[in-house]
């Protein structure tokens, strides 16, 4: 680091500037700054998504509504007597709506959602959130880490898979969050995986659901 002769670097008002930051930034730094600016601009301007990326209004295009629950294989002691599952499936022509939910054996006092955050965002009083990833039959992975409006595909892109994060709810012994996967996968199973490091769930737990089988059993001829 160099200073101009005759100037005391410790004098109030004198700023120390590292030599490496003086002059024009190298190309990789300029590219990084441009990416950060583009992200900030998109976050500021992209506040909503195309209607087909959300659960349809008034059940338009609802194909089937299975009643099954799909629990994750978890050690109950690991999560303090809480069971987690995928349930409330609703298969639409435009996508799959489902809840990631948790139920507690005992009332631990207060709302379960204050201890378990199953949403895609962190909001008080939660200080953390669950990771939810969906592995499609094509190998493509979508997750709730990218469920914000600014992460959504462009409105004219109807084919790129994306996971929308919707409403949430919480009661003393139950909490959950609603998600919507679009577009509806053509065939093959979907593997749902969760991890929650803050609760000791460091190794992902998974459960698979075959939508094609559900459509054949509960709504033959719907596709």
Q: Is residue 109 part of a domain?
A: yes
Domain count, the chain: 1
Q: Are 146 and 111 in contact (CB under 8 A)?
A: no
Q: Which range (15-24, 44-53, 189-198) has the least confidence? A: 15-24
Residues 6+ apart with CB under 8 A from 121: 129, 147, 148, 165
Q: Looking at the domain assignment, is residue 4 inside a domain?
A: no
Closest by alpha carbon to 151, among 223, 63, 43, 52?
A: 43
Q: Is residue 118 in some structural domain?
A: yes
pLDDT at 76 over 70: no
Could you read off the pLDDT of 85-116 as tens digits, one per residue?
999 999 999 999 999 999 988 777 788 888 88
Look at 35 and 129; give whichever has higher pLDDT: 129
| Mean pLDDT on 117-121 | 91
Q: Domain range for residue 133?
A: 52-218
In a domain, 206, yes or no: yes
Condensed to tens digits (0 to 9), the pLDDT of residues 201-219 reads 888 899 999 988 888 866 5
Examine residue 43 and state whether it is found in any structural domain, yes or no: no
| Contacts of 157-161 spanning 24+ positions with Cβ under 8 A | 158/52, 158/183, 159/183, 161/136, 161/185
Find the CATH number of the domain harbouring 113: 2.60.40
Kindly provide the residue ranges of all beta strands, DSSP E only, lying in the chain, ordered along the sequence.
62-64, 70-71, 82-92, 96-104, 131-135, 141-143, 162-170, 174-182, 189-196, 201-210
- Specify if 41 maps to a domain: no
Q: What does pLDDT average to over the chain?
A: 84
Residue 10 lies in a domain: no
CA-based nearest residue to 117, from 90, 144, 148: 144
pLDDT at 13: 57
Is 223 within the bounds of a domain?
A: no
What is the predicted pLDDT for the residue at 3? 43
For residue 34, pLDDT over 80 is answered with no
């Amino acid at each position: 680091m160099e200073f101009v002769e005759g100037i005391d670097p410790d004098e109030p008002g004198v700023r120390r500037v590292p030599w490496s930051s003086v002059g024009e930034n190298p190309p990789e730094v300029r590219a990084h700054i441009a990416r950060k600016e583009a992200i900030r601009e998109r976050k500021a301007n992209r506040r909503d998504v195309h209607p087909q990326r959300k659960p349809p209004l008034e059940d338009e295009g609802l194909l089937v509504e299975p009643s099954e629950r799909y629990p994750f294989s978890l050690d109950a002691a690991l999560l303090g007597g809480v069971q987690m599952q995928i349930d409330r499936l609703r298969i639409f022509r435009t996508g799959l709506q489902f809840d990631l939910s948790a139920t507690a054996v005992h009332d631990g006092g207060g709302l379960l959602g204050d201890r378990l955050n199953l949403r895609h965002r962190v909001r008080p009083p939660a200080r953390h959130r669950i990771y939810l990833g969906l592995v499609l039959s094509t190998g493509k992975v979508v997750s709730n880490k990218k469920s914000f409006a600014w992460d959504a595909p462009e409105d004219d892109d109807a084919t790129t898979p994306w996971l929308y994060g919707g409403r949430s709810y919480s009661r003393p012994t139950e909490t959950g969050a609603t998600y919507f996967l679009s577009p509806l996968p053509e065939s093959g199973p979907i593997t749902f995986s969760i991890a929650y490091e803050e609760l000791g769930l460091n190794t992902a737990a998974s459960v698979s659901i075959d939508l094609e089988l559900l459509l054949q059993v509960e709504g033959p001829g719907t596709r």
